[in-house]
Amino acid sequence: LEIVVAILSLVQQQSRNARAWLEYRYVCREWRDVINGTPVMWKKINLLTRHREWADLQAARAKGANLHVIGEVDVAEGLGSGFIEEHRHHIEKLELMMGKDGYNGLFDLVHGVQFPALRYLSLQSHPADSRDVTKPVLTLDHLSTGHSSGLSSLWIHDLRISLPSLARHTNLQELCLDCRQVRGFKLALDELALVLPHLGLLSRLMLGFRRMIRRSDPQEPSISLPSLLALKFSGRLRSFD
C-alpha cells in the first residue's frame, strides 16, 4: 500500500494537469480505493479550474489534512475567496494570483482572515494593478493567530508590501520580494535593516526592485544575518554594503 501511495504521489506531483493523475483510478479497483481513501492525495486543490463542487469534494476527502491551495482572487468570481475563507484553518500552503481588478479582494482576504496552519504563502499581482500607484500597501500582520507566525516561506510578486509587517513572522526561512514591475515603489534599506534582525532563521533572501536601494546614513553598521545562506538581488544597486 505504501509503495502504491508513493508512486501515485510522485505522478501527482509531476502532472501538469491538475486532475490528470485521477485517471489512475481506472487502472484497477485497488488503485481506485487507494486514491479515494488516502487523504494526502487530495490535499492539493487548484481553484483555477473554477469547479467549486470538485474543490469541496477534494477538501472532504482530505479529511482535515493540511491543504495546498492554488487560487485567484477576481472581482467577478468569488470561488477563490469563498473557498479559502471556509477552509482557512487547514491551509498550509497558499498560492494566490489576482485577476484584473482583484486587488481589493486580495487586500480584504489578507487583512481580514487568519490562517493558523499557514507555512507557505505566494502572492502575485495582476500587471494592471502593479502599475496603479493608488493601490494601498499590503500588510501581513493578521495571517496567523498567536504571538508569532509559523510562516516559513513568503513570496511576493509585484505588490506594494509593508516591510515592518514582516517583522512578526520570526520563523521565516525563505523570503522573496520581487517588485520590479511595481510602479513608484522602492526599497528603503533603512527600513529593511529594522526588519531583518527579527528574522533570525532566514536562510534565503531574494530582492527585486526597479528603483535604487538607498541608505540615509551610510555610517550605520552593516546588516548581519548569520543564518543567511543565499542572497539574490535584481535591479539597480546603490549604497548597499
pLDDT of residue 74: 66
Verdict on whether the full-model pTM lies above 0.75:
yes
pLDDT at site 154: 94
What are 34's three cell numbers? 487507494
The DSSP H or E segment spanning 30 is helix 29-37
81-96: buried (b, 16+ CB within 10 Å) or exposed (e) per residue? bebbeebbebbbbbbb
pLDDT at 194: 85
Quick one: pLDDT at residue 120?
94
Give the per-residue pLDDT at 175: 95
Q: Tell how many helices (H) and how many strands (E) occur in the chain.
A: 7, 8
**pLDDT truncated to tens, each residue of the chain (241 aa)?**
678 778 777 877 776 666 677 787 888 888 888 888 888 888 888 887 778 888 899 999 999 889 999 888 764 455 567 888 889 889 999 998 876 666 777 777 777 677 888 899 999 887 776 677 777 788 887 665 444 468 899 999 888 888 888 988 889 999 999 888 887 777 777 788 888 889 999 999 998 876 655 555 555 556 677 888 998 887 665 544 4
Question: What is the DSSP code (8-state) at residue 46?
Answer: E
* Cα(187)–Cα(179) distance, integer angstroms: 9
Q: What is the pLDDT of residue 93?
A: 93
What are phi and psi for residue 54, nearest 5 degrees?
A: -70, -40
- Residue 146 has what pLDDT? 45
In whole angstroms, what is the distance from residue 159 CA to residue 91 CA? 22
